[in-house]
Every structure is written in C-alpha cells, then in structure tokens.
Amino acid sequence: MNESIEFKSKYTVDDNGYYGQFGGAYIPEMLHHNIEELQQKYLKIIYSEKFQTEFKQLLKDYVGRPTPLYFAKRLSEKYGTQIYLKREDLCHTGAHKINNTVGQILLAKALGKTRIIAETGAGQHGVATATVCALMNLPCVVYMGEVDIERQAPNVKRMKLLGAEVRPAKSGSRTLKDATNEAMRDWIANPEDTHYIIGSVVGPHPFPDMVARFQSVISEEIKIQLKDKTGKENPDYVVACVGGGSNAAGAFYHFLNNPLVKLVGVEAAGLGIDSGHSAATTVLGKLGVLHSSKTLFMQTKDGQVVEPHSISAGLDYPGIGPMHAHLFDTQRAIFYSATDDEALAAVKELSMLEGIIPALETAHALAALHKIGAKKEEVVVLNLSGRGDKDLDTYIKAMQL
C-alpha cells in the first residue's frame, strides 16, 4: 500500500467528508450522481498501481519534477533566517497547478469521461488544464471571469493556443467565484460525459481532499530535499499564499502531524483589511456554505457572498478551502495577510535579490516573511508557487517599468 493513502491526520478529511466542522458536499441533486461516483472511486483509482505509475512518470518527464529546493542566500541575509524556496514556478506551465491537473485528467480518463471543464482566476489553472487536455486529446472548456480575462490576457491566449475554449463568466463580480458558478452549471447540464477539474482545495467532498493529495507531492519532495541539504527533514516554518489554498495544502500536507513545523498561510488583504476591498477570508469571513462546501467565506450578515478584491487574480476568491478553515480554527496554521502594495514590493525584492520574478499570488507569501519572526538558525521553506510572466502587464503598470 502506498504511503500517501495511509497518511492520516486529524487535519485531513474524515470518513464523512469533513474537516472538523468544515467541508461536506452541499450539492444540488443534479450533481449527486457525479459526486457520489467520485466519492466512491477516487481513492481506489488514484492509489492503483496503474495510476501511480502513469502519474509519477508524467510528473517527472512532463511537469519536470522534482522541482528544486533552492537556498535563497541573499533573501536569507535580508530576513536574518534560513530561507529555502520550493521552486514550483519551474513546473511546466509556470505554477504548481499542473500537479493537480495531471492527476485529475488521469482520473477523468479512468472514469471514462470524454470532456473536461475548469474554472480559472489568474489563468494558471486554466492553462494547466488546457495543457493536460491537449496532452490527452480531450476537449476542454475553461470558465474565466470577464474581469480576469482582461487582466490576465496572456494566459487567455495560451489556453486558446492549447486548443481550449475560454468562456467568459459575466455574472456577479465577474471573477473567480463566478467562473466557479458557471463551471458548476455546465457540469449540471453535462454530467455524463464531463469531468470538472476544480483547481483548488475547494468545492464539495472529495475535491478538497483529492486536490490536496495531488498537490502533496510538494511537501513529499521538500522532506527529502531538506534532509539532503540540512540533515533534517522538517523545517521550522512552511509559508505559502492562500486563495482557495491548493499550493498551501500541498506544501503543508506531510507536515500536518508534526506540531513543531509551524504552518503559515498568507491571504490577500487587497487595499487593506478594513478597506472594504480585501480577500482576507480568515479575518473577514464567517462560516457558511459556498460552492457546495461548509467553510469560511466573506459574506454579508444576510448570507450573500461579498465580492473580494485582490490585485492578484488567483487570490481574488471570497473563501478558503475547508481544510484551511479547519487549520485556522484549530490554530494548527497561522494566517497573515499582505496588501496589494506589499505584494508588489515583494515582487521587486525577490527579482532584485535572487533573480526570480514571482507570480503576484506567491508575492503575498514573500511579503509575510518579516512577520513570522523566524530566528537566525531556523529554517523557513517558502512555497514559490508560480512565476511572474503572466503578471508582467501589472508589474509594468504598477512599477512604471
């Protein structure tokens, strides 16, 4: 039996699909058949020998794993601690998102599905989905908010080049949550032939758990690489940005059971937590049901979803996944937030100090480095979830380059 399937923690999903009081599958009856099928089959499929062989092969030869764990010398000097960057930005397509899409497309094939849909915010998950659909020769429709289509134009073109159809979500705030609504509506209308590749650890059970498992390769590699470099496999801190929370889930996963490893999630504060233009869910959110999951999200007192704001399209989501809500609730993870301006400053800093241009999402994690209080001899692993190519237009405007 694979080590990962046996990995149990009070912070991972329970037999009913919950993380403490969070999670579940609050789905309309129209999705019952699909979700039930997934719930019954996903573990069996993804831990079959055939799946694991193909999954690992693709992660190695196609995605380019393992990604390096890089000791960032100048950044470490600046913050007076030992900082290692987990280079998910070097994955094929430029972010961690592809770990999940490779897994889910293999799952979709095993389920006999012939059409793929996805939602995307920054476009990274859309590109990663379009990529694996091209690889497996499956038709692909990506829903993307109209606002995001505009601010992430290069990724829209990439998806088109890869053969995907990009459909604009025109309702609500026309960002990630609305793209998610549209994808769910598509799935309701096409339940038999279609698999919905959700891009984050959100949505009804088993999606949060499934996506976390596919992303857990990040922390699996960190352990091995860190031991190789420092002689011990556990860092003192793991830091990652959190929108829905998939890269953080992957980076935290194999450290969940070790309380000595401090887990740090960084949310987008937008223009500031109290500005009315923020996406800092753990501060501003309340318990409710969003996208078929019981979790924390930003809402009015009447239970209407509040439209979030972040300069980063990938963090512009009003909620967090149920696993993170539980980590926050139990204080297993600590959450900070970074504003748009702090994130931009962090982009500049990493570019100048290390020659690495990070994605805007990732920059939020970097912007929290001075807040965590790591000591000189302590080891901090920061998950460098994506590269900044897609954000160049934003950087050009904001920094007057």
Q: What token pair was written down for 134?
A: 């091209």
Q: What token pair was written down for 386?
A: 């994506």
276 binds other proteins (CB under 8 A): no
| Interacting residue with other proteins among 191, 234, 329, 353 (CB under 8 A) | 191
Sites for other proteins among residues 3-22 (CB under 8 A): none
Q: How far is the CB of 106 from other proteins (least distance, A)?
A: 24
Q: Length of the chain in residues, anyone? A: 401
| Interacting residue with other proteins among 137, 304, 331, 400 (CB under 8 A) | 304
291 binds other proteins (CB under 8 A): yes
| Interacting residue with other proteins among 6, 49, 137, 301 (CB under 8 A) | 301
Classified as helix, coil or strand, 197 is coil
Q: Among all chains, which residue has been given the structure tokens 């995907």? A: 164
The site for other proteins, by CB under 8 A, has a size of 34
Neighbours of 304 (CB within 10 A): 8
> What one-character DSSP code corresponds to residue 275?
G
Sites for other proteins among residues 20-79 (CB under 8 A): 24-30, 32-33
> Would you say 281 and 351 are in contact if contact means Cβ atoms under 8 Å apart?
no
Q: Which is nearer to other proteins, 101 or 292 (CB)?
A: 292
195 binds other proteins (CB under 8 A): no
Q: How far is the CB of 195 from other proteins (least distance, A)?
A: 15
Q: What token pair was written down for 203?
A: 């949505």
CA dihedral (363, 368, 373, 374) in degrees, to 10, reads: -20
Q: Which is nearer to other proteins, 148 or 340 (CB)?
A: 148
The piece of 123-131, 249-257, 300-308, 355-363 that touches other proteins (CB under 8 A) is 300-308
Q: How far is the CB of 174 from other proteins (least distance, A)?
A: 12
Q: Which phi and psi angles does 270 have, rounded to 5°?
A: 65, -125
400 binds other proteins (CB under 8 A): no
Q: How far is the CB of 31 from other proteins (least distance, A)?
A: 9
Question: Which one is catalytic: 86, 97, 294, 390?
Answer: 97
Rounded Cα–Cα distance for residues 23 and 17 (Å): 6
> Would you say 353 and 71 are in contact if contact means Cβ atoms under 8 Å apart?
no
CB contact set of 397 (below 8 Å; sequence gap of 6+): none
Q: Which is nearer to other proteins, 276 or 303 (CB)?
A: 303
Nearest-CA neighbor of 184 among 224, 152, 143, 221? 143
Burial class (CB in 10 A: 0-12, 13-18, 19+), 109: middle
Give yes or no: 119 in active site. yes
Give the up-direction half-sphere exposure of residue 41: CA atoms within 13 A in the CB hemisphere: 16
Sites for other proteins among residues 171-190 (CB under 8 A): 171-172, 177-178, 181, 184-185, 188-190
Q: How far is the CB of 190 from other proteins (least distance, A)?
A: 8
Give yes or no: 385 in active site. yes
Q: Which is nearer to other proteins, 50 or 286 (CB)?
A: 286
- Encoded one letter per residue, x for contact with other proteins by CB under 8 A and - for no contact, window 125-164 reads ----------------------------------------
Give yes or no: 246 in active site. no
Question: Which residues face 85 on adjacent strands?
Answer: 70, 382
Question: Which one is catalytic: 119, 342, 349, 354?
Answer: 119
> What one-character DSSP code corresponds to residue 123?
S
Sign, CA dihedral 289-291-294-298, equals: negative
User: What stretches of 167-257 show up as alpha helix (H) in DSSP?
Assistant: 176-189, 207-215, 217-230, 246-252
113 binds other proteins (CB under 8 A): no
| Interacting residue with other proteins among 224, 289, 396, 399 (CB under 8 A) | 289
Question: Which one is catalytic: 219, 293, 310, 385?
Answer: 385
Sign, CA dihedral 164-268-303-296, equals: positive
Rounded Cα–Cα distance for residues 175 and 345 (Å): 24
The piece of 138-146, 224-232, 244-252, 302-310 that touches other proteins (CB under 8 A) is 302-310
Q: How far is the CB of 131 from other proteins (least distance, A)?
A: 27
Name the residues that contact other proteins, by CB under 8 A.
24-30, 32-33, 171-172, 177-178, 181, 184-185, 188-192, 286-292, 299, 301-305
State the catalytic residues.
97, 119, 385
